[in-house]
Structure 1
């Protein structure tokens, strides 16, 4: 692959994505979501195609196997208690003294955290320098998603007199409450004033979709750059035609906010003769219990598939079902993966007019009956799917090389004029 230098001098960039370690190590790693995939993809692209020298920053419970992977320097902040702390905080709202979700593990986790509290490192102050990052001094800081940790990256960049780039990762990153004076909390527990700080103080904001750009300007008066999600198209195309296509595929989590698994179950109930495979990651135990207790006979639940085996999962499917909420999500990578695999998509909602522009599938506007009917037609072969226009659209808008070059250009512009839009 040819390198595309962005300047005569090699500059450094730190990409902070605290949960991204599983995306780097191990093809069978769990917990690799869209944000983590994007951070690692951006870092690899900059290392392979440009003169930029990227460092990926993440947390780890122990020492990492290597300090450099595929040309990307890795900086791991080691916190042996992090996984337990995050698990407890997801279940218990200590501020409001409320139990969000019960787990028997809380009986030993909470006493253990209480006993070790005097010896553990304190969390960074909100909207202040993050001491974990002060060992680094890149030319540009990049942070993924809106929240307290991104606010810390942006505050650190300002203290170092370095430009910062905030990359939006979901529709929820631009919650209208963030633009209001009253302090509220998001569905993920993020404080609105902290999120507003990140959005307003970042030197540059990158949007995944045109809809995000419009909302950013409407709510916060800021001009954002458009850099769409990318993927290695050939990797997902490679399995086409190598496997018989049988079932319908759905991928998501046990939650009813973004992926909306309850709607997938309703659709499955409406087409009982269509086999549906659902690959579901853990999230809300209450939702999981409800799904498992009333699972339709035509649904197969799969708890986990290694990431390197996912192209085959798409290639074995007659269609992909998307029940994601456009308001909650940014742009789901599963749509790109299904499209690249040549698998038609039946979606309850569109994302940035993706289906209109690409021809990757059909949108049912949250109509359960229409979605069930479309799945039946794809499964029976009544409805066909043309892949050539989809392939062209992906290459022109979402290819790894194209998106990497866009990001490199943005970073170069940010060095010379941090607040200038490079859209």
Structure 2
């Protein structure tokens, strides 16, 4: 079947959409000389019934129903061709449309029905006020043995150029039909509202939807009064009649998201990934055909990065994870590398796929046995024992497995990397897991890059033989091992580069922390008069982040409002913060990374009380959102004091307090500091350029000689200092 053949009845289902005439005109281009039937009724279930009855009466083999809010692309012909290969029992085929509000491809607004089965389907249309009558009918047909088939072909655009009235209704329905995606598309719409009035209307409708629990009935005038009231509150006038018929090039340009802020594009990618997983099962990696060059695999080892890709998991990381996620997404978008994250176990499958990136749980065989054995360990006076009952007897075999891994870690743990076969492994942060990964990769001849996360990662007391633990409990000799054995080290600042050269004799690569920043950002800044509070973001860590200093600042400045976004990484510290919290301070726990942007956008000042940092991502986010920075001690490479991008109090709490009070009172000074910070970050931290530097570093590392695998006689020790042939002396 082709678009030029008369074996398909084309029906446009309309309900007063602004694009109805444009939809018909585009279909007339695809089906020249053929009638395009227009059907309208209320509620939508009646429109559905009339459309199918029209297709049945016309008697052509296929009936194509297109909603009037869809602007079709030439690729519609590919969906029609696919019908030739559909088995005789397939009732419906559907393509994808790029949705304006979801900012991603999804299944909506188009249905290609096998006309000979329509008579069976008509009695299955719900008689009541169903929220999804067409889906209910298609699912009922599938239950009778007449399935539907979802195509990955993008056949058009959905909800572009619609009236504010219709967008309000659609967004209200999203608030009911797609509540599972609410944590993603609400912050996405908040990011896009300053540049597109459609999303201002959508947010108003979403707020209304969250206040109502009853499923709505869809009809022509659905929520028209509420839409008019929302537009009046937002000082918006309804759009005029659409007098253009966009061509295919224009339609494709509308899907390009060129005007989106960078973080909105990243969030849109998460929406697209979630929608795609719901439509298509995850396919195994494609096999490389003979003569084809496989893309090199790069593994990013960052234990807590997974929640940044799965909005259903509570976030536990911070700036290091944000940096790793941005590098991973940026590298995957280049389509020149296979990207894999090696992460901790958050209850996800041991291997999963999101946004074009594979995620593997670190050491799955060991963790799979540990999931069963370790929870049954109970402390006794002299040693831990297993509490077992009859239900656990079939797990006893896993006890010697765990014992073997712990007794011979150099034999078992490197197997994970031998099977994965990455060209390069990138480790984020100098921690115990990083030391283990570098040791295992060194043993198997795999190249490694260590990304320094903060200044404590390169502490001068990281020395061989120093068994004293650092603040996180890692023996300091492991920190030295990682710095000594990594094939390449990436730093964030010139100060870190100099410290590594001075204390460890290592040359490094400087790649500044990336952020999505644009020259257009200041146009989207919230005016100073509309900003609400002084903001602090970090972990409940009194040693490094020192959040109690911010609590004391809030208590001293009782006439200002304060917000603290804090991860509950230390229960004792978090409870102390809650107990000491003054009335003008609001403490928020576990705010997802994509929601933090809206809090930053509304902040008057960002305060940093850390003792050590690398390059705080909150500084970069503040520069993008126009928030002046006040830091108690941290001033990476003189960004604040030397480059005039904020205020550093040099460790003096009184100076910090005075700076906060002054910036809240002096809008001109706050604006000047914010613009200076934005210029500085745009010049040095723009994400695209940093990803290019990262890729160049990867290529150089992958091309360098691989470390020689260690000899068998070193298998009793996981960490060894010398390379193969030199005796394998261990450092632990």
TM-score (norm 1): 0.82
Aligned-residue offset at 1:355: 1.6
* Per-residue Cα deviation, 1:242-272 (whole angstroms, up to 9, x for no partner): 8920110111222211111121122223322
Aligned to 1:353: 638
Deviates more, 1:171-180 or 1:402-411: 171-180
CA distance in 2: counterparts of 1:32 and 1:390, whole angstroms? 25
CA distance in 1: counterparts of 2:372 and 2:552, whole angstroms? 34
Aligned to 1:72: 357
CA distance in 2: counterparts of 1:209 and 1:40, whole angstroms? 19
Residue 390 (structure 1) aligned to one of 677, 683, 691:
677
Aligned to 2:566: 280
**CA, structure 1 residues 150+28, in 2 after alignment: closer, same or farther (shift >3 Å)?**
closer
Deviates more, 1:329-338 or 1:130-139: 130-139
Q: How does 1:324-343 map to 2 (within 5 A)?
A: 324-326=610-612, 329-343=613-627
Q: How does 1:15-26 map to 2 (within 5 A)?
A: 15-26=300-311
Aligned to 1:158: 442
* Per-residue Cα deviation, 1:99-141 (whole angstroms, up to 9, x for no partner): xxxxxxxxxx99779x988377466667885443332101111
Contact 1:236 / 1:341 at 8 angstroms: preserved in 2? Answer: yes
Contact 1:319 / 1:379 at 8 angstroms: preserved in 2? Answer: yes
Aligned to 1:181: 465
Aligned to 2:298: 13
**CA, structure 1 residues 65+200, in 2 after alignment: closer, same or farther (shift >3 Å)?**
closer
Deviates more, 1:66-75 or 1:231-240: 231-240
Query: Does residue 326 of structure 2 align to residue 45 of structure 1?
Result: no
Deviates more, 1:274-283 or 1:290-299: 290-299
CA distance in 1: counterparts of 2:443 and 2:491, whole angstroms? 25
Query: Does residue 532 of structure 2 align to residue 246 of structure 1?
Result: yes
SS at match of 1:274: coil
Structure 1: runs of 5 or more not aligned: 3-7, 88-93, 98-108
Contact 2:645 / 2:680 at 8 angstroms: preserved in 1? Answer: no
TM-score (norm 2): 0.49
Contact 1:17 / 1:39 at 8 angstroms: preserved in 2? Answer: yes
CA distance in 2: counterparts of 1:60 and 1:368, whole angstroms? 40
* Per-residue Cα deviation, 1:257-308 (whole angstroms, up to 9, x for no partner): 1111121122223322221111121132332233222322322212232322
SS at match of 1:233: coil
Contact 1:142 / 1:164 at 8 angstroms: preserved in 2? Answer: yes
CA distance in 2: counterparts of 1:81 and 1:264, whole angstroms? 43
Aligned to 1:30: 315
Query: Does residue 514 of structure 2 align to residue 219 of structure 1?
Result: no
CA distance in 2: counterparts of 1:204 and 1:41, whole angstroms? 20
Aligned to 2:32: none
Deviates more, 1:33-42 or 1:135-144: 33-42
Greater Rg over alpha carbons, structure:
2
**CA, structure 1 residues 368+168, in 2 after alignment: closer, same or farther (shift >3 Å)?**
same
Aligned-residue offset at 1:52: 2.3
**CA, structure 1 residues 62+269, in 2 after alignment: closer, same or farther (shift >3 Å)?**
closer
CA distance in 2: counterparts of 1:198 and 1:311, whole angstroms? 34
**CA, structure 1 residues 187+418, in 2 after alignment: closer, same or farther (shift >3 Å)?**
farther
Contact 2:546 / 2:609 at 8 angstroms: preserved in 1? Answer: yes
Residue 306 (structure 1) aligned to one of 577, 592, 607:
592
Query: Does residue 506 of structure 2 align to residue 195 of structure 1?
Result: no
Aligned-residue offset at 1:53: 2.1
**CA, structure 1 residues 291+230, in 2 after alignment: closer, same or farther (shift >3 Å)?**
same
SS at match of 1:10: coil
Aligned-residue offset at 1:51: 1.7
CA distance in 2: counterparts of 1:164 and 1:224, whole angstroms? 13
Contact 1:154 / 1:198 at 8 angstroms: preserved in 2? Answer: yes
- More contact order relative to length (CA 8 Å, sep ≥ 6): 1
Structure 2: runs of 5 or more not aligned: 1-255, 259-292, 707-732
Aligned to 2:136: none
SS at match of 1:272: coil
Aligned residues: 396
Aligned-residue offset at 1:357: 5.6
